[in-house]
Structure 1
Amino acid sequence: MTDADPPPFYQAHIFVCTNRRPEGHPRGCCAARGSEKLRDYMKARAKELKIPDIRVNTAGCLERCEFGPAMVIYPEGVWYRPTTVEDVEEILQVHVIGGGRVRRLMLTDKDVPPPKG
């Protein structure tokens, strides 16, 4: 970000992959792993907590299917793989509200999909 850039529209902009692939696809998909339920919970809970300047969006494939459900939080660009509503709650409390990180749920540079072949 430079001084010439406008301020962010949201303090936290969260993209949750809800991509759906055919059953049995070798890479799997986030929707089959419950990402829609997790997205819905995150949206409702953020509203309930009255977190200001947050947006939780549905995303198509984020290309980390093997590690899903996948989500990414901007402006930091931190990737997570929550599997339960308790994980989502922890991300909201620790990352979004508290400014910390939930290390045990983070996807890192080591979590990359296999090369396309």
Structure 2
Amino acid sequence: MTNQYYKHHVFFCTNQRDDGAKCCGASGGQQMRDYLKKKVKHAHLNGEGKCRINSAGCLDRCDEGPLLVVYPEGIWYTYVDEADIDEIFEVHLKQGRIVERLQLK
């Protein structure tokens, strides 16, 4: 038995900078978070022992974004579009394998 409440806890940076600097919010962070949250709910993978999709403020890796991080593994990903989010969903959240091509080092 594990002491983790969620199998996967995903945090999307959705920070929006007012000064025009590069940020995840301006790169679709909130939209991609909403997209993945819907996918997880539709697949009935949300809730205790499953997945939780959250928004986060600045995760301080702005030059590498947009990005998200999956805990408890601490795996950081970047993405471009819904196809990348679909791959993270299918491979990491459903199969438990890292999507190496999207992983930030």
- What is the TM-score with the length of structure 1 in the denominator? 0.82
Equivalent-residue separation in structure 2 for 1:50 and 1:69 (angstroms) = 26
Matched, 1:99 2:96: yes
Hey, what does 1:67 align to over in structure 2? 64
**Greater displacement, 86-95 / 6-15:** 6-15
Residue 89 of structure 2 aligns to a residue in which SS?
Answer: helix
Shift of 1:24: 2.6
Equivalent-residue separation in structure 1 for 2:23 and 2:82 (angstroms) = 18
> Deviating runs (4+, > 4 A) in structure 1?
none
Hey, what does 1:3 align to over in structure 2? none
Identity %: 44
Say which of 14, 17, 26 aligns to 2:13.
17
Hey, what does 1:114 align to over in structure 2? none
CA RMSD of aligned residues (A): 1.2
Q: Which runs of 5+ in 1 are unaligned?
A: 1-5, 109-117
Equivalent-residue separation in structure 2 for 1:24 and 1:49 (angstroms) = 37
1:65-89 deviations in Å (ceiling 9; x for gaps): 1111110000100000112111111
- What pairs with 1:1-117 in structure 2 (closer than 5 Å)? 7-25=3-21, 28-52=22-46, 53-108=50-105
Which one has a bigger Cα radius of gyration? 1
Shift of 1:23: 4.6
Equivalent-residue separation in structure 2 for 1:47 and 1:93 (angstroms) = 14
